[in-house]
Amino acid sequence: MASTAYSIAQESYAALGVDTEAALRRLATVPISLHCWQGDDVAGFEQVGDLSASGLAATGNYPGKARTIDELRQDVGQVYRLLPGKHRFNLHACYADLGGRKIGRDAYTIAQFQSWIDWAKAHGLGLDFNPTFFAHPKAADGFTLAHADKGIRQFWIEHGIVCRRIGAEMGRQLGSPTVTNVWIPDGCKDQPVDRTSPRERLEASLDAVFAEKIDPRRHLDAVESKLFGLGSESYVVGSHEFYLGYAIKHQKVLCLDAGHYHPTETLTDKISAVLQFIPELLLHVSRGVRWDSDHVVILDDHLRGIMEELVRGDFLDRTHIGLDYFDASINRIAAWTIGARNAIKALLIALLEPTAGLRAMEGAGDNTGRLAMLEELKTMPFGAVWDEYCRRQDVPVGNAWLAEVRSYEQAFLSLRA
Ligand code: RNT
Ligand code: ZN
């Protein structure tokens, strides 16, 4: 039996021509890829280099971060129990299961990731993947695939190559394509004289990384640009224009990270433009506060705008939705949960829009009606539909999830000194 609040909401939406049951059915088919790195502040299990050399920084010192693979799996397992729907896991190569051995990143094989695949299979999760071009002695000067030194470049090319093979094997074993996303930190603190050569080297390196053909039913390549980073304020080799061009030329998946543009730019306006020229998108749903700060995703206009675009443009089947933030200042399980639940909730809100009616008004030049309706929608009872979804999916309703996080913290996190 549906709750009374839901029944009333269902009627209110029906009056606008929106079928809440259809929205819930669609919502259940869209996975969100949970990023491993929220669980341990992007530390990974190799710990051979410094994160800050690559312009990334996790700020905060909230106790209880995952220190081992088992802890990370246990922690994210708790998060999945709080999320309605079936989702994915997004792994970085530096989370390899090395079994105490020292193995170079250029020599990784599926052996270092088999335990992750087994874990994913046991939990019914699809896996996504990322080569790790940071936190490593060979990335200590902030350059990798665009490095002027051929030997260093080659090391990172090999890393990219082995990671694609690992990603493909993940996809094969799990029966769902793995999206392997390339992001590199390469850039300069101060204005370089030569902006061209590093970009030429990056293009050649990417061509080498992507040379091997891989069945798209197992594996997809994505490339991610950035505007600037700490220490790369003046120049980033892999800028938006660079990767947009590369993705169009080679028909790669383009990764749009919500924190990687000028503060007044939104992904909302980019989605339809880039999807005209590339096959598929990867989203790094994130929240920049003044800069690419990777704050926990909240239910704000940017998030809602992104999800609205995916629904309005009928782009869901061409988009892989991932999260990308890392907050070390609050309970990490809560950080993961809040951002992921918000992404799902924003998608639900978008699915509850009477888009056809809005389009009809727009087409007829009735911009008054369009604005009026968009504003009315903001106070529609989507919360009751969300609660019903959580109830049916057998996960905590409303803020009940927080009590579970608190008892998990008591039982496990607080014991991690
Ligand atoms: C960095 C990029 C990248 C990373 C992860 C850890 O600015 O957003 O996606 O956050 O690879
Ligand atoms: Zn990102």
With bands split at pLDDT 50, 70 and 90, how would you rate the model's confidence at 17?
very high
- Note if 118 is an active site residue: no
Which ligand does the CA of 292 lie closest to? 1
- Note if 226 is an active site residue: yes
What pLDDT score does 416 carry?
96
What pLDDT score does 139 carry?
97
Which residue is closest in CA terms to ligand 1's atom 11? 183
What pLDDT score does 2 carry?
78
Q: Is residue 371 part of a domain?
A: no
Average pLDDT over residues 5-24: 98
- Note if 294 is an active site residue: yes
Q: Can you list the positions of beta strands (E) in 74-117?
A: 88-92
Please list all protein residues whose beta carbon sits less than 5 angstroms from ligand 2, which is an ion.
257, 284, 324
Tell me how far the alpha carbon of residue 225 lies from the centroid of ligand 2, in angstroms: 8
Question: Taking all residues of the chain, what is their mean pLDDT, rounded to a whole number?
Answer: 97
Q: What percentage of the chain reaches a pLDDT higher than 70?
A: 100
In the set 46, 169, 224, 308, the catalytic residue is 224
Q: What percentage of the chain reaches a pLDDT higher than 90?
A: 97
Ligand 1 probe mutation, 94, 226, 236, 324, most atoms within 8 A of CB:
324
> Domain of 97: which CATH number?
3.20.20.150
Burial 298-316 (b: 16+ CB within 10 A, else e): eeeebbbbbbbbbbeeeeb
Q: Is residue 336 part of a domain?
A: yes
Per the structure, how many domains does the chain have?
1
Which ligand does the CA of 256 lie closest to? 2
- Note if 221 is an active site residue: no
Q: Is residue 343 part of a domain?
A: yes
Residues 347-396 have pLDDT tens digits of 999 999 999 999 999 999 999 999 999 999 999 999 999 999 999 999 99
Nearest atom of ligand 1 to the alpha carbon of 286: 8
Tell me how far the alpha carbon of residue 312 lies from the centroid of ligand 1, in angstroms: 27
Which residue is closest in CA terms to ligand 1's atom 10? 324
Contacts 24+ apart (CB under 8 A), 365-373: none
What pLDDT score does 308 carry?
98
With bands split at pLDDT 50, 70 and 90, how would you rate the model's confidence at 80?
very high
Q: Is residue 316 part of a domain?
A: yes
Q: Is residue 8 part of a domain?
A: no
Which ligand does the CA of 182 lie closest to? 1
Average pLDDT over residues 318-344: 98
Check whether 49 has a pLDDT greater than 80. Answer: yes
Check whether 3 has a pLDDT greater than 90. Answer: no
Check whether 131 has a pLDDT greater than 80. Answer: yes
Check whether 256 has a pLDDT greater than 90. Answer: yes
Q: Is residue 367 part of a domain?
A: no
With bands split at pLDDT 50, 70 and 90, how would you rate the model's confidence at 251?
very high
What pLDDT score does 413 carry?
98
Tell me how far the alpha carbon of residue 257 lies from the centroid of ligand 2, in angstroms: 5
Average pLDDT over residues 259-267: 97
- Note if 292 is an active site residue: yes
Check whether 319 has a pLDDT greater than 90. Answer: yes
Which residue is closest in CA terms to ligand 1's atom 3? 183
Q: Is residue 296 part of a domain?
A: yes
Nearest atom of ligand 1 to the alpha carbon of 292: 7
Please spell the DSSP secondary structure of 166-212, one letter per residue: HHHHHHHHHTSPEEEEE----EESS--S-SHHHHHHHHHHHHHHT-S
Average pLDDT over residues 255-273: 97
Distance CA 133, CA 145 (A): 8
What pLDDT score does 400 carry?
98
Tokens 């809560």 belong to: 334
With bands split at pLDDT 50, 70 and 90, how would you rate the model's confidence at 267?
very high
Check whether 188 has a pLDDT greater than 80. Answer: yes
What pLDDT score does 154 carry?
98
90, 343 in Cβ contact below 8 A? no
Average pLDDT over residues 79-87: 98
What pLDDT score does 47 carry?
82
With bands split at pLDDT 50, 70 and 90, how would you rate the model's confidence at 40?
very high
Q: Is residue 330 part of a domain?
A: yes
In the set 37, 183, 386, 401, the catalytic residue is 183
- Note if 138 is an active site residue: no
- Note if 183 is an active site residue: yes
For 59, the domain range is 19-351+381-415
With bands split at pLDDT 50, 70 and 90, how would you rate the model's confidence at 1?
confident
* The token pair that represents 360 in the structure block: 């009809």
What pLDDT score does 328 carry?
98
Ligand 1 probe mutation, 46, 224, 240, most atoms within 8 A of CB:
224
Check whether 143 has a pLDDT greater than 80. Answer: yes
Pocket lining for ligand 1, CB < 6 angstroms:
37, 42, 56, 92, 130, 183, 224, 226, 257, 284, 292, 324
Distance CA 135, CA 6 (A): 48
- Note if 284 is an active site residue: yes
Tell me how far the alpha carbon of residue 216 lies from the centroid of ligand 1, in angstroms: 23
Tell me how far the alpha carbon of residue 150 lies from the centroid of ligand 2, in angstroms: 26
- Note if 215 is an active site residue: no
- Residues in contact with 359: Cβ distance below 8 Å, sequence separation at least 6, in sequence order: none
